[in-house]
A and B are shown apart, each in its own frame.
Chain A
Amino acid sequence: MLLIVLSLVSFLPVFFLFVFSGGNAAMAMPALVGAIVLTLAFIGLFAAQSVYFYKHWFRFQDMFVASPVSPISYTLGLSLSTLFSSAPSVLIALAILLYSRPVGIVPILGILGVSAILWLAMVFAGFAIGASTKNTRRANSVPQVLGFVIGFLPPVYYPLSILPPSIQPFALLIPSTHAAQLGKYYFGLLDLAPTEVLFGWVYLIVFTIVMAIIVSKKARWVDP
């Protein structure tokens, strides 16, 4: 229940954008897409805390290692449980979006696809952070700082075009920018060239692979 409430935090900027734009739905709709993308990204990133606390605080990971539990099932359990807790808020946002802007199944699958791949990349990042830190303060603060960097700083809630042209390439280095751009594109809120769509997907996939490689180096089931 607590995680469900926390997952709603990513919708606060949508609320503020809607209120401060005087009820302007043109501002709120792209922000709602950004919120869907980021809800999953945040919840994935905060796997760092679960990994850290289960290993170093509760020490349950040691109990699981010395049992028939496999590292794959442990990893899947920790990461997929975050999806369950974030599902209600994502579904509510999706329902509002579809009510305001009815679209077909492909755009829905598109936004869920980019959100899922960003979530996977952030789960990997979260596991890498959680496995490599032995400090409670760091396990709590690093995901928060990264959440700010991938969530509130880049053009996820707001359009990329608002940023000065010289800043835009830097914003495109952040994977959540691509996920949000693709999400807005699938809902017809933004025009993208096919090459830009392809580049966005490739960027997200490559980023996810890089995160997977990092986590395979950092996270260990049996300590070396």
Chain B
Amino acid sequence: MSPNLATNPQVSHVSLPAAVDVVRVEGLGKTYPKGTEALKGVSFAIDEGEVFCLLGRNGAGKTTLLRILATQLRPTTGRATVLDHDVLREPKAIRPFISVVPQEARPQMMLSAWDHIRLMCMIRGMSKEDALARTKTMMEEFDLWEHKDKLTADLSGGLRQRVLLAMALIADPKVLFLDEPTIGLDPLGRRQVWAMIRRLTAKGVTVLLTTHYMDEAEKLSDRLAIIDRGQLAFLGTVEEAKAMAGTGMKVIVEPLKANGDDRQVLEPKSNTEILEIVQRSLNDGRRVTFQPPTLEDAFIKIVGGSIEE
């Protein structure tokens, strides 16, 4: 497991060991030509086969970070390596082994799913025969075969996202970058994408994805980084986030016939306090329910606001 390294007080300061990580970021900063400082001294490392989520509000710097790692954007300060190659100096050594699905990417409406995947195979340098065979394999793997002749204009959002994922995965990448992969999808479509990501990591693919959906980060991530205003605010697992933010069980006390008017949400500090609340509520004839801490609670504690702000 890679060290939880960051330049932020919420994460311990340690030196990176010499071991080779799939992704390694050290003091990365990015200031855009017009002066916007999007990233400030971000450091972390990602292990092979991990699903690593970058979580943060809109404009926090998640996409900037992902684009730098995917060799699409130059960093201003610091260093980043992917598969032990520097993203700035050796992008050509990285590119054959990575793939990216950009945020809000969309297929061409007048082409079919088959066309998209076959064209990407040929753009990636496959021969005509190999491209046809690979396209068929990918379409079957992504359950797209029955839709192969439909124009993408006639496909659902979830199927279109699958087309894009299939395009990204034709080259069997070692590292996959997904920028908000489920934005705009319905709950079923989101779950299909999640299942696909899990299947990939089972094969050893490392996935770095950005999201601002808390449930997505909670369900998918092996580890996550919370980015706030360009800085690393937290690095660790979901459980560590909840623990670090000091969020405990919430106790909700309300009348038996709940009408929402007299509802109390309490955050007791100890088990003794929980017992006292339960005892008091039962004596008063009120209903008590418990709500375990969520990643959203931790996020709010860590960045001092909600994701929608």
Spell out A's residues near B (CB within 8 Å). Answer: 57-60, 62-69, 77, 222-224
User: Counting CB contacts under 8 A, is B100 at the interface?
Assistant: yes
Which residues of B are found within 8 Å of A68, using beta-carbon distances?
Answer: 92, 95-96, 124-125
User: Counting CB contacts under 8 A, is B104 at the interface?
Assistant: yes
Which residues of B are found within 8 Å of A69, using beta-carbon distances?
Answer: 123-124
The number of chain B residues touching the other chain, given as a range, is 20 to 34
Which residues of B are found within 8 Å of A64, using beta-carbon distances?
Answer: 123
- Knowing that A58-B105, A223-B73 touch, tell me 14 more A-B residue pairs with CB under 8 angstroms: A58-B106, A58-B107, A62-B72, A62-B102, A63-B102, A64-B123, A65-B71, A65-B95, A66-B71, A66-B95, A67-B95, A67-B98, A69-B123, A222-B72
Instruction: Decide if A66 touches B99 in the complex (CB within 8 Å).
Output: yes
Which residues of A are found within 8 Å of B101, using beta-carbon distances?
Answer: 63
**Roughly how many angstroms separate A216 CA and B207 CA in the complex, as a whole number?**
34
Chosen A-B contacts, 14 in total, with CB atoms closer than 8 Å, are A58-B106, A58-B107, A59-B102, A59-B103, A60-B105, A62-B72, A63-B105, A63-B168, A66-B72, A66-B100, A67-B96, A69-B124, A223-B72, A223-B73
User: Counting CB contacts under 8 A, is B183 at the interface?
Assistant: no
Q: Would you give the shortest CB distance from B239 to chain A, in whole angstroms?
A: 32
Which residues of B are found within 8 Å of A223, using beta-carbon distances?
Answer: 67, 72-74
Instruction: Decide if A62 touches B105 in the complex (CB within 8 Å).
Output: yes
User: Counting CB contacts under 8 A, is B70 at the interface?
Assistant: yes
Which residues of A are found within 8 Å of B73, using beta-carbon distances?
Answer: 222-223
Q: Would you give the shortest CB distance from A5 to chain B, in whole angstroms?
A: 14
**Roughly how many angstroms separate A68 CA and B120 CA in the complex, as a whole number?**
12
**Roughly how many angstroms separate A204 CA and B177 CA in the complex, as a whole number?**
44
Which residues of B are found within 8 Å of A57, using beta-carbon distances?
Answer: 106
Q: Would you give the shortest CB distance from A207 to chain B, in whole angstroms?
A: 28
User: Counting CB contacts under 8 A, is B91 at the interface?
Assistant: yes
Instruction: Decide if A67 touches B102 in the complex (CB within 8 Å).
Output: no
Q: Would you give the shortest CB distance from A126 to chain B, in whole angstroms?
A: 19
Q: Which of A58, A62, A224 contacts B100, CB < 8 Å?
A: A62
**Roughly how many angstroms separate A63 CA and B92 CA in the complex, as a whole number?**
14
Which residues of A are found within 8 Å of B74, using beta-carbon distances?
Answer: 222-224
User: Counting CB contacts under 8 A, is B17 at the interface?
Assistant: no
Instruction: Decide if A66 touches B70 in the complex (CB within 8 Å).
Output: yes
Which residues of B are found within 8 Å of A59, using beta-carbon distances?
Answer: 102-106
Q: Would you give the shortest CB distance from B292 to chain A, in whole angstroms?
A: 38
Instruction: Decide if B72 touches A224 in the complex (CB within 8 Å).
Output: no
User: Counting CB contacts under 8 A, is B167 at the interface?
Assistant: yes
> Which residues in window 233-255 of B have CB below 8 A to A?
none
Which residues of B are found within 8 Å of A63, using beta-carbon distances?
Answer: 99-102, 105, 120, 167-168
Which residues of A are found within 8 Å of B264, using beta-carbon distances?
Answer: none
Residue of A nearest to B91 (CB): A222
Q: Would you give the shortest CB distance from B71 to chain A, in whole angstroms?
A: 6
**Roughly how many angstroms separate A174 CA and B113 CA in the complex, as a whole number?**
43
**Roughly how many angstroms separate A59 CA and B103 CA in the complex, as a whole number?**
8
Instruction: Decide if A66 touches B104 in the complex (CB within 8 Å).
Output: no
Residue of A nearest to B168 (CB): A63
> Which residues in window 82-131 of B have CB below 8 A to A?
91-92, 95-96, 98-108, 120, 123-125
Q: Would you give the shortest CB distance from B229 to chain A, in whole angstroms?
A: 21
Which residues of B are found within 8 Å of A77, using beta-carbon distances?
Answer: 123
**Roughly how many angstroms separate A68 CA and B171 CA in the complex, as a whole number?**
10
User: Counting CB contacts under 8 A, is B304 at the interface?
Assistant: no
User: Counting CB contacts under 8 A, is B9 at the interface?
Assistant: no
User: Counting CB contacts under 8 A, is B33 at the interface?
Assistant: yes
Residue of A nearest to B105 (CB): A59
Residue of B nearest to A63 (CB): B100
Which residues of A are found within 8 Å of B171, using beta-carbon distances?
Answer: 67
Q: Would you give the shortest CB distance from B101 to chain A, in whole angstroms?
A: 7
Which residues of B are found within 8 Å of A222, using beta-carbon distances?
Answer: 71-74, 91
Which residues of A are found within 8 Å of B102, using beta-carbon distances?
Answer: 59, 62-63
Which residues of A are found within 8 Å of B168, using beta-carbon distances?
Answer: 63
Residue of A nearest to B175 (CB): A66
Which residues of A are found within 8 Å of B108, using beta-carbon distances?
Answer: 58
**Roughly how many angstroms separate A73 CA and B41 CA in the complex, as a whole number?**
35
